[in-house]
């Protein structure tokens, strides 16, 4: 009985080791590679529409023909001049970026599929830091009593201005004032009602691209 238990124990250990090795094994490499992964697109203003070029290489010993390209975000508009990669050939994936409504450091992906394939030949990754026209620093505040809390709305570029502020709850009040060129202080005040949930104070601007800057208010 002890020998049988020992054999069963060894069998379980071997199965576990094989399963762990399978999990640790890297995924099979596709026919294309991205030499610089992720690609760093740098800082981009929200009002810009840049196009950047990501190098790709065929590492297979056959031609690779791309049948479709799928962007993981509506902000990415990818294109290839030639969809056929000969062995060892390098091409550049052109990506036009539309950053409107986005802000901060982001990572995006683009999948390239061979003709008739259901799995991508390569998933391209790129990083970009989008600078919004306006942002609140911080963009969330905690309110627990009658004392006001403050945050600052900053204009990063351009000449637009803050024009007003609105609150969604009757127990909240908010005001704003200009404290420096391109800087406005927003004061939020109010005693949260029992059971009150989160609220969003909206700071309005005259910028057509980002005319609303939200500030999250959390009762405490």
Q: What is the pLDDT of residue 134?
A: 96
Lowest model confidence (mean pLDDT) among 83-92, 186-195, 202-211: 186-195
Q: What is the DSSP string of the chain?
A: -HHHHHHHHHHHHHHHHHHHHHHHSPPPP-SEE-SSSSEEEEEEETT---EEEEEEEE-SSS-EEEEEEEESSTTEEEE-S--EE-TT-EEEEEEEE--TT--EEEEEEEEEEETT-SS-SEEEEEEEEEE-SEEEESSEEEE-SSS-EEEEEEE-SSS--EEEEE-SSTT-EEEEEEEETTEEEEEEE-PPPTT---EEEEEEES-SS--EEEEEEEE-
> Per-residue pLDDT tens for 5-49?
455 444 444 444 444 444 343 445 789 999 999 999 999 999 999
Q: What percent of the chain has pLDDT over 70?
A: 87
pTM, two decimal places: 0.74
């Amino acid at each position: 009985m002890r020998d049988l238990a020992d054999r069963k124990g060894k069998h379980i250990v071997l199965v576990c080791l094989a399963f762990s090795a399978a999990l640790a094994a890297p995924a099979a490499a596709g026919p294309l590679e991205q030499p610089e992964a992720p690609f760093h697109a740098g800082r981009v203003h929200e009002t810009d529409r840049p196009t950047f070029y990501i190098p790709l290489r065929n590492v297979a010993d056959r031609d690779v023909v791309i049948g479709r390209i799928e962007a993981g975000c509506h902000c990415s508009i990818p294109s290839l001049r030639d969809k056929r990669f000969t062995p060892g050939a390098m091409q550049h994936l052109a990506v036009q970026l539309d950053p409107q409504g986005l802000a901060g450091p982001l990572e995006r992906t683009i999948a390239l599929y061979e003709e008739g394939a259901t799995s991508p030949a390569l998933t391209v990754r790129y990083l970009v830091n989008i600078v919004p026209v306006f942002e609140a620093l911080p963009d969330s505040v905690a309110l627990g009593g009658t004392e006001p809390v403050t945050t600052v709305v900053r204009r990063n570029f351009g000449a637009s201005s803050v024009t007003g502020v609105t609150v969604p709850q009757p127990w909240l009040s908010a005001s704003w004032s200009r404290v420096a060129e391109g800087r406005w202080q927003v004061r939020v005040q109010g005693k949260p009602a029992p059971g009150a949930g989160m609220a969003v104070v909206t700071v309005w601007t005259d910028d057509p691209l980002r005319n609303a800057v939200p500030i999250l208010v959390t009762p405490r």
